Every structure is written in C-alpha cells, then in structure tokens.
Amino acid sequence: MSSSWRCLLVLARRAPCWEGFGTASEPDWTGGPPIGGHPRRARATGPPGRRGAPCDGRRRSGYNRSGHTAGGTVAARTRRRRRLIAAVLASAFAVTALAACTPSDSPAADFDQVEGAFDDAVVEQLDATLAEAVRLSGSSGAVAGVWAPWAGSWTVGTGTVDFADGAARVTTDTRFQLPDGTGQLTCAVMLRLVDAGVVELDEPVSEMVNGIPGLDGITLEQLCRNTSGLADYYGPLRAHFVKNPERIWPANELLASGLAAGRKGEPGTSWVESRTGILLLTEALEQRTGRSWADLVDQYVLEPLELEGTSLPAASDMAYAGALGGYAASYSGGKPACDAIVDVSRRSSSIGGTASGARTTLADAKAVSESFATGAMFQEATARDVWTLNSLGGDAPGWQAQGIGAQQFGPLRGVAGESIGALAAMFTDPETGLTVILALNNSAGGELLVREAAFALASIASKAAPAEGRDLPLVELPWSLEQATQRMTDAAPCPLPAEAEG
C-alpha cells in the first residue's frame, strides 16, 4: 500500500466528529505519517468530539431513531447550522490533516548537483585510489561513487563480482551488502517512529521487550548511539561465520551471545560498537508495533525515499546474482590468516540480520546517506537529536563523534563497517553535499580500510574545480589525501590478493 493511501486510511479511522461537543477527544497520530509532517510528537487537535461518531449528532442524548427532536423547527434550524459548521470544520480538518500526511519538504536531500563528470585529472586520481583500495583489500571488485554538487560526479563499477573464471563484471548497478548501513536503516525506522509518536528516544528497552532479562537502564537512543554497554556478538563469532557462511543464525541466538558476553560499561557512560544493540532494537520495535522489520523499513524509509534496490535477503537465500560476491580471511589467534582467504560469496544474511545483512545499490545508498546526514529524513527536533554528538572516547580524535545511528568525521556524516565478505562506507557533508559511497568485497582489511579509502576519495573531490557559475565551497577535512592513503595502506593485513578457497 502506498504512503498516500495509508495516510488516507489513518485519517478515515481517526477523524473526530466536530459537531457533537459533548465528549472531548484528541486524535493521536501514531500510524506513521510520511516524513516531514506534523511537529515532533505533536498531536492533532480540533474542537472536541466523539471519535468515529456521525456528525449529525444522533448519538447524543435527546435524539430519537429518526434523528429528530420534539423541538420542531428551532431544533431543525439548529441542526442545519451545526451541520454547516461541522462541514466547514471537517474541510479544515481534512486540509490540515492531509498537510500533516504530506511532507512539506521532500525526504530526499537536494544539493543542486551539477550534471556531468569531474574533469579528467580528478577522475584519474579517483580511479587510482579506488584501484589501490581494491588491491590492498584483496577484493575482486568494487562499486563506488563520489558526488560534489558544485563540480560533478564519478560513479564506477570495477573488477568482477568474484574471482571465478568468467565472473560477471561489476557495474554501477551491482548490488552490495551494507554492514553498518543496515543498522543505520534500523535506527532510521526507530527515529521515524519517534516522529510518529509511537516510541520515545528515552524509552526503557526493558519495558518494550518481553522475555529478555538484564536490560535495566538501556534506552532506545543508547542502542543507536552505541552507548548501551552491550557487547558486540560479531567479533567472538566471526571465525565461525567464515567457516560456515551458509549456516542460518536465528537472531535470538546472536542476541543471546552478545548478552552473555556481559556488559562493557554502564548504559550511557561509554562508547562500544554493538550489533547486539541493533538486534535488540529490532526486537523492541517489532514487539511494540506488532510488525516485521521488513514492513517497518519499507513504510518508514524505503517508500518515502522511493528506493527499490534495498532489501534484506531471506536467511536461506544464498544466491548473489546481480550482487558482489565476498571473501574473508580465516582467523588464527584472533588475527586474519592471509594465506587462507575463504570464498563466502554464498552466505546467509542472518549473520548480520537487521544490523548488517541488507543489500543495496549505489543510487539507494546515496539517497539514504544524504537524507540521514542532512536530517531531511526526520522532523526538525528529531534531526537535532540525531546530530547532537557524543565523544567516541579512548584515543579517538576530537573530530570523530557519534550521533544517533551514524557518526561524524570532520564535516562528513555517515557509517563505515565490516561484515564477512563485505566492506562499505557511506558519507555525506550536509553543508556542501559532498557524498562518497564505497563497497569492497573482501572483509580482511576491516572497517578502517574502507573508511580511510572513502576519506581519500573525499579529499580528492573536495578540491575539484567548480563548474561554470558555481563557487568552490570550503570543505574542511581534518585529514589530507596523503594521510588517508597511508592509513588505508596500514590497515591492509593482506596487501596482495590470495588464492581463494572454495
């Protein structure tokens, strides 16, 4: 069902009768209006009436079955006046309510992108940096895109989807896995439900989830800020995922593994990246709404942004037709073994589930990154909450910080992450629109490699000469191209592709 029809059904169910003034009733908007509607957690108000009652007043005392009273013509004129008032008010309600259901601004960010490619010198640098990222990561191919609204764009698919003989070439339409980007989608659903008044950021998870002990003090917001104190299930199980990529992992089993590892800190006190927290968030949202993650993400994120290339494959669907395959290092003593790179192209999405298992396209990833980074996806107050930042703590520099569902690195906002067989980064500068998307298909180098590769691409594009009639914006990146390239090189545990097994 489209968002427009869903919204009209919500109106039909919740429109109050404004003729009968005997019973106060405030319609609440908890059905998930499309992006950009009413103010955050506002409630639609109007003259009090009885919800669902006919506006001819027949449910009020003093009326008989025919709707008439013994008051004769005076009563009739009174009813006619009231019906006229009701009609006017109902029309006003419909206009106001439809305005609440129709976003005043598009959820998609619009940066007035210059048409056409970057100049040849910029393209040459971007191509060389991508080629080095593919080589250092040991990937068979990559999908990448860079957009600088003032100067041009660059989109490319390079290499092949896997190392097999005759493997398909990668194109800009090739789908790829979203490691941390899937968690970003899950957090976006939660934030949209905040806008709809269904949940609150500070709502205790223990009051939303049945059957899971030990959740005291954890809020929805903390799950998306990585400050819940919950351990990440991925690290301890990574070697098992690589050895048996086609095993189907129930979400409850992964959740139990993360919870059994014990708290890494008290809720709200320290930063610990946790996919366990995202799986717990999914459980909370599904129990609260009675709906599946797929249904929720479709209504609250994919439909409003008109995205058709993003989905979470069924756990039993191991095929990767039209998508990047994947490779991962086996592990020995907690370290990747470069001489034992495993083909994990056929893997279950249940390894990451709603935290890191979804697949997307270059165009869809760009739309999500821009909408989330600018806050266009959310109501104004919620967007401010999203980008109220927390320190990452430890040795992290001050220009790295955590928001709700994504991070900020200098002016760039977004995510970078790893899941077996996949690395991906999605970043946008909300001021200038500079956007970088990068996907590689060997996870041995980890999050740091793909993040620094994306930073190197951003550094190149940030200096691109403006097109005629456009100005060169100031993009203050706290790293140079040389620094990002060096860190990308240092992050590579296996500098040259190894022979894949299987």
* 406-419 pLDDT per residue, tens: 999 999 999 999 99
CA-to-CA distance for 475 and 459, rounded, in angstroms? 9
Spatial contact of 159 and 138, defined as CB atoms under 8 Å apart: no
Task: Determine the 3-state secondary structure of 58 from DSSP.
Answer: coil
Q: 62 and 137 share a domain?
A: no
Q: 65 and 194 share a domain?
A: no
pLDDT of residue 51: 30
Q: Which domain holds residue 484?
A: 120-501
Q: 319 and 196 share a domain?
A: yes
Q: 164 and 64 share a domain?
A: no
pLDDT of residue 345: 98
Strands in 435-440's sheet, in edge-to-edge order, are 152-159, 141-148, 435-440, 422-428, 412-419, 407-409, 400-402, 390-391
Q: 82 and 142 share a domain?
A: no
Decide which of 42, 68, 101 is a domain's last residue. 101
Instruction: Tell me the mean pLDDT per 10 residues along the chain, length 502.
Output: 40 33 31 37 32 33 34 44 45 38 60 96 99 97 99 99 98 99 99 98 97 94 98 96 97 97 92 97 98 98 97 97 96 79 97 98 99 97 98 93 99 99 99 99 97 99 97 97 98 64 43
Using alpha carbons only, how large is the chain's radius of gyration in Å?
A: 26
Is 236 part of a structural domain of the chain?
yes
Decide which of 101, 128, 143 is a domain's last residue. 101
pLDDT of residue 255: 97
Q: Tell me how many domains the chain contains.
A: 2
CA-to-CA distance for 370 and 333, rounded, in angstroms? 39
pLDDT tens digit string along 84-93? 444 444 434 4
Q: 171 and 73 share a domain?
A: no
Q: 15 and 74 share a domain?
A: yes
Q: 59 and 206 share a domain?
A: no
Q: What angle do CA 438, 308, 450 make, to 5 degrees?
A: 10
Q: 180 and 276 share a domain?
A: yes
Q: State the CATH number of the domain containing residue 406.
A: 3.40.710.10
Return the sign of the alpha-carbon dihedral for residues 168, 170, 172, 173: positive
Q: Phi and psi dihedrals of 184, rounded to 5?
A: -65, -40
Residue 32 CB: number of other CB atoms within 10 A? 23
pLDDT of residue 109: 87
Q: 387 and 493 share a domain?
A: yes
